[in-house]
Structure 1
Amino acid sequence: MVNLETLVRDQLDDARASAHGRSAHLFVHDGPLRQTVIALLAGNSLDEHNTPPAASLQILRGRVRLTGQGGGQELIAGDVTAIPHARHGLQAIEDSVVLLTAVTEVREQAQGVTVGTAVRT
């Protein structure tokens, strides 16, 4: 079991000690499922990159901008969003910590139909 609040504190401390102002810790690696806590200090960013087949971002602390097509989206602590299926980046407006949940592969049924569902509340 992992305590998310402890991870948040530890990753912020690691980001503050880093010359790059960021830190990440992969804490769930189960088949295609990955969960990573990422800390970014204000003004730092993750450059644009490709997205996995499915991913979401939950803002645990701070304020960030998810960049990409359409100019981006500002998110604050408590927000959860699906990651767009296009190149995107992440900029920290304040010292921030996010939880990235990603599925790195999608298996198909014998008929060639992709298995999976998405729930948005």
Structure 2
Amino acid sequence: MVDLEAQTQTHLEKASTAEHGRSAELVVQDGPLRQSVLALAEGAELSEHDAPPAASILVLRGAIDVVAESGTTVLETGMLAEIPHERHSVKAEVDSVFLLTAVTDI
């Protein structure tokens, strides 16, 4: 069992002192299913990368922008969205933590 509130606090603290303003941990792995907690300090960014075959983001705290060629999706605490099926980046507008759910092989 994973305590997401505890993970949120732990990774926010780590991101705030990390050189690139990020902290992440794989918290669930079951076959092709992966769930990771990621924290980004305000202004930190995950540079452009490929999307997995299927994925979603649930914002646990803060506000992030998911930026893709098709547009920018602004997500705030409690919001859940699919990740676009294209290259994208993620930027934190404020100190933020999100749960990334990805299926790595379909």
TM-score for the superposition, normalised by structure 1: 0.85
Percent of aligned positions that are identical: 49
Write out per-residue CA displacement over residues 9-30 of structure 1, whole angstroms, 9 at most, x where no aligned residue.
0000111121111100101111
Structure 1: how far apart are the matches of 2:61 and 2:20?
Answer: 19
Query: By percentage of residues, which structure has more strand?
Result: 2
CA distance in 2, matches of 1:71, 1:42: 21
Letter in 2 for 1:9: Q
Instruction: Return the alpha-carbon distance in structure 1 between the equivalents of residues 17 and 51 of structure 2.
Output: 28
What are the Cα deviations for residues 41-97 of structure 1, in whole angstroms up to 9, with x where unaligned?
111100010011100000110011000113311110011000000000100000000
Equivalent residue pairs, number: 106
Instruction: Tell me if 1:65 matches 2:90.
Output: no
For 2:13, the equivalent position in structure 1 comes to 13
Q: Answer with 1 or 2: which has the greater Rg.
A: 1
Show the counterpart of 1:100: 100
* Consecutive unaligned residues in structure 1, runs of 5 or more: 107-121
The structure showing larger relative contact order (alpha-carbon pairs under 8 Å, at least 6 residues apart) is 2
Match of 1:2 in 2: 2
Q: Which residue does 1:41 correspond to in 2?
A: 41
Which residue in the other structure is 1:111 paired with? Answer: none
Gaps of 5+ in 2: none
One-letter code of the match for 1:47? S
Give 1:100 deviation, angstroms.
Answer: 0.1
CA distance in 1: counterparts of 2:70 and 2:86, whole angstroms? 11
Query: What's the Cα RMSD here?
Result: 0.7
